[in-house]
Amino acid sequence: MSATETVQTGASMPPEDSIDVVVHPSQRAILVVWVMLILATCASWVIGINEEGTPGDVHPMNTLLLVIALAKVRFVGIYFMELATAPRVLRGIFEAWAVLAAALLCLLYVLL
Amino acid sequence: MDQHFTMQRVCTWAAPACTLVFFGAFAIAGYLVPPSPGASPQETADFYANNTDTIRLGLVLMCFAGGLWIIWSAQMTNQMLRIEGRSAPLAWTQLAMGTCACIEFIMPAYFWLTASYRERDPEMQQMLNDMGWLPFDGFVWTIIWQNAVIGAAVLMDKRATPLFPRWYGYMSIWVAFLYLPSGFNVFFKDGPLAWNGAISWWLLLASIFGWLMVTTYLLLQAVARQERETAAGTLAGDPISDLERRVALLERQAQAEERVHA
Amino acid sequence: MTVLATESLEEPGARVSTRRRVPGEVGIWVLILGDLVVFTYIFAVFLAERSNEPVVFAAGSEHLNQNYGIIYTLILLLSSLYVVRALHRLRSADGHAAARNFLGAFACGLAFLALKVTEWMHEADAGHTLTSDHFFTFYFLMTGLHALHLVIGLFLLIYLAVLARRPAPGRSQWILFEGGACFWHMVDFLWMVIFPLLYLMP
């Protein structure tokens, strides 16, 4: 029988001989984002270890920690996981999830 | 060669039927929201004493879901054979695992039915209740593998356009992991991993039946494609029809040679 | 050899293509997005349980070492950077440098795992186990599930390092490189949410 392709025709492949170029963020941009993530992590830690209060209280700072965390996730997705150059639907779903998760977790924290 | 498309479809619909029967029957029995493992023996005994008829009816109906599970599993193996061909360890594993899964529905039901059968010591009723709930949640040891081999087979498909989309292979394997925590419900009497917990029960239900719906849809697609390709004569990669086509080709060649030499 | 030209968005006259592609393949994203939904569900359940027993949860969180917490996060961030670099090297057709970067990420992951196991043993010694109280059920459940992903990621990274050293990666290899990289980044960012939930919020 005729030989059929043995590999999956995936939706994403680096072009072999095409002129089309997928433009990824530069390594410099990535490094900048990475440094910002490190700083955001340290900032969260500083906020966290300096928190005082009684259990059961709602601390506005904690919602900030959650928001920072999901913002970091979003940046990892866009820059590291290359969603910047992904189809808009995929990127949209990811960003929507980041926002919804942040909102849901903050709401649960505050309301419960 | 008759591919029995209608029967394949019927068998595929066993999966949504299983889902409907399961949820309906469990709702009748009052089991959809599981009792707490922390309930006292007396509370458990009271539950069985006060709801005897609905419990019996619901659980007996639920046993049908067990048989229906095997029917769709067999159809899945039928399609997996098209991926693997004659040497098909994964397809047969899937069938065996699916068959065992039937026990996961029926055996616990009979422990509960036994509890509903007579009035007994509350301690004994609690034991029968436990004997049903622990495995009902926790008996994931076959469905994990059922999912895993389906996923593996899907990802191994070497066709240009695979029989099932590749994301379904990933999803099946991933869902197998979601089943895993429920197996540990025996360690807990409360919390998310207890038999009535957010993870051991609710996540398990959502995973199994959510995945089953996706599976139903994709199985129907696969049958439809098989039908189209058979009609167009382009059914490729199917080991039996490949053989038939080669034989037909050889016969035509032999006939052509005869005419030439005649 | 497959070479993907990468141009900086900041270079003047850069050719900007309208072409968009799914990193890895769709299946990986079904897995990643699915995992995100399930973990978000677990986080939500965690917060709900927490409101039922604020004292227990606060005490449990106090007991955890916050310094460990931030070290974990920084280690994983570093490992993600290694993975990004590895892909960059692959696109510049430098397989050996890419392999080194994958191994760097692996080393970070291994360090994370070693620290985590030490922390678990420490907690167990202090009498905190999966069943001792609800906070620690969630602690071990969340860090355990995360560690499971991490271990799978470690195997992936080794495999990618080996694959990177082979010449001329084809389509299915690229799916693995990109998909595997995305999986590792997911391991990183799942921890980014677990860290404040368990370690920082009293």
CB-count burial class (<10 Å; 0-12, 13-18, 19+) for A28: exposed
CB of C25 within 8 Å of a chain B CB? The answer is: yes
Q: Which amino acid is at A67?
A: V
In the DSSP assignment, the letter for residue B83 is H
pLDDT computed for residue A25 by the predictor: 80
**Nearest residue, CB atoms, C30 vs list B167, B188, B198:** B167
Contact between B94 and B73 (Cβ < 8 Å):
yes
In the DSSP assignment, the letter for residue C130 is T
- Chain A positions touching C22 (Cβ under 8 A) are 10-12, 86-87, 90
Q: What Cα–Cα distance (Å) separates residue B131 from each residue in A19, B32, B61, B190? A: 65, 17, 19, 17
- Chain B positions touching A6 (Cβ under 8 A) are 158
Q: What is the pLDDT of residues B181-226, one digit of tens each?
A: 999 999 999 889 999 999 999 999 999 999 999 999 999 999 999 9
Query: In 3D, which of C14, C28, C10 has the Cα closest to residue C178?
Result: C28
- Chain C positions touching B161 (Cβ under 8 A) are none
pLDDT, averaged across chain C: 87
- Chain A positions touching C17 (Cβ under 8 A) are 20-23
CA distance A11 to chain B (A): 11
The span from the CA of A76 to the CA of C186, in Å, is: 9
Q: Which amino acid is at A68?
A: I
pLDDT computed for residue C81 by the predictor: 95
Query: In 3D, which of B196, B256, B214, B253 has the Cα closest to residue B31?
Result: B196
Confidence of residue C93 (pLDDT cuts 50, 70, 90): confident
In the DSSP assignment, the letter for residue A56 is T
pLDDT higher at A32 or A15: A32
Q: Give the Cβ contact number of residue C134 at 10 Å.
A: 20
CB of B165 within 8 Å of a chain C CB? The answer is: yes
A31 part of a folded domain: yes
The span from the CA of C172 to the CA of A8, in Å, is: 7
Structure tokens at B69: 């599970």
A35 part of a folded domain: yes
* Residue C19 pLDDT exceeds 90: no
CB of C131 within 8 Å of a chain A CB? The answer is: no
CB of C73 within 8 Å of a chain A CB? The answer is: yes
The span from the CA of C142 to the CA of B181, in Å, is: 11
pLDDT by residue for chain B (262 residues), tens only, comes to 677 899 999 999 999 999 999 999 999 999 999 999 999 999 999 999 999 999 999 999 999 999 999 999 999 999 999 999 889 999 999 999 999 999 999 999 999 999 999 999 999 999 999 999 999 989 999 999 999 999 999 999 988 888 999 999 999 999 999 999 999 999 999 889 999 999 999 999 999 999 999 999 999 999 999 998 888 776 665 555 667 778 888 888 898 888 888 7
Residue written as token pair 């072409």: C19
The span from the CA of B40 to the CA of B42, in Å, is: 5
CB contacts < 8 Å between B and C, how many?
A: 52
CB of A92 within 8 Å of a chain C CB? The answer is: no
In the DSSP assignment, the letter for residue B181 is G
Q: What is the pLDDT of residues C137-171, one digit of tens each?
A: 999 999 999 999 999 999 999 999 999 999 888 88
Structure tokens at C154: 């470690």
Confidence of residue C13 (pLDDT cuts 50, 70, 90): very low
A11 part of a folded domain: no
pTM beyond 0.90 = no
pLDDT computed for residue C51 by the predictor: 87
The span from the CA of C102 to the CA of C85, in Å, is: 9
CA distance B213 to chain C (A): 16
CA-based torsion, B84, B90, B96, B99: positive or negative: negative
Contact between B220 and B10 (Cβ < 8 Å):
no
Closest Cα in chain A to C26? A11
pLDDT higher at A37 or A18: A37
Q: Name the residue range of residue A41's domain.
A: 23-111
pLDDT computed for residue B240 by the predictor: 58
* Residue C41 pLDDT exceeds 80: yes
The span from the CA of C89 to the CA of B199, in Å, is: 41
CB of C144 within 8 Å of a chain B CB? The answer is: no
Asked if the Cβ–Cβ distance from B165 to C27 is below 8 Å, we say yes
CB of C168 within 8 Å of a chain A CB? The answer is: no
Query: In 3D, which of A81, A77, A94 has the Cα closest to residue A12?
Result: A81
A13 part of a folded domain: no
When mean pLDDT is compared across B82-96, C5-19, C59-73, the lowest value belongs to C5-19
The span from the CA of C75 to the CA of A96, in Å, is: 27
Neighbours of chain A (3+ CB pairs under 8 A): B, C
CB of A1 within 8 Å of a chain C CB? The answer is: no
**Nearest residue, CB atoms, B170 vs list C28, C38, C141:** C28
pLDDT computed for residue A21 by the predictor: 58
A80 part of a folded domain: yes
A103 part of a folded domain: yes
The span from the CA of C172 to the CA of A94, in Å, is: 24
A4 part of a folded domain: no
CA distance A1 to chain B (A): 8
Contact between B26 and B54 (Cβ < 8 Å):
no
CB-count burial class (<10 Å; 0-12, 13-18, 19+) for C155: exposed
In the DSSP assignment, the letter for residue A76 is I
Q: Torsions phi, psi of B96, nearest 5?
A: -65, -45
pLDDT computed for residue A27 by the predictor: 87
Residue written as token pair 């059968």: B117
Q: Residues of B at the A interface (Cβ-Cβ below 8 Å)?
A: 158-162, 166, 236-237, 242, 245-246
Contact between B92 and B56 (Cβ < 8 Å):
no
Structure tokens at C176: 């693995």
Name the strand (E) or helix (H) holding A60. helix A60-75
CB contacts < 8 Å between A and C, how many?
A: 200
CB of A23 within 8 Å of a chain C CB? The answer is: yes
pLDDT, averaged across chain A: 78
A18 part of a folded domain: no
Q: What is the pLDDT of residues C117-133, one digit of tens each?
A: 999 999 999 888 888 88
Structure tokens at C50: 């927490």
Neighbours of chain C (3+ CB pairs under 8 A): A, B
CB of A12 within 8 Å of a chain B CB? The answer is: no
When mean pLDDT is compared across A29-33, B15-19, B57-61, C100-104, the lowest value belongs to A29-33
Asked if the Cβ–Cβ distance from A73 to C24 is below 8 Å, we say no
The span from the CA of C95 to the CA of C101, in Å, is: 10
Percent of chain C's residues with pLDDT above 70: 91
Asked if the Cβ–Cβ distance from A48 to C40 is below 8 Å, we say no
pLDDT computed for residue C55 by the predictor: 87
pLDDT computed for residue B239 by the predictor: 56
Q: What Cα–Cα distance (Å) separates residue B99 from each residue in A58, B77, B136, B174, C165? A: 51, 11, 16, 21, 44
Asked if the Cβ–Cβ distance from A1 to B246 is below 8 Å, we say yes
pLDDT computed for residue C127 by the predictor: 87
Asked if the Cβ–Cβ distance from B203 to C41 is below 8 Å, we say yes
How many separate domains does chain A show?
Answer: 1
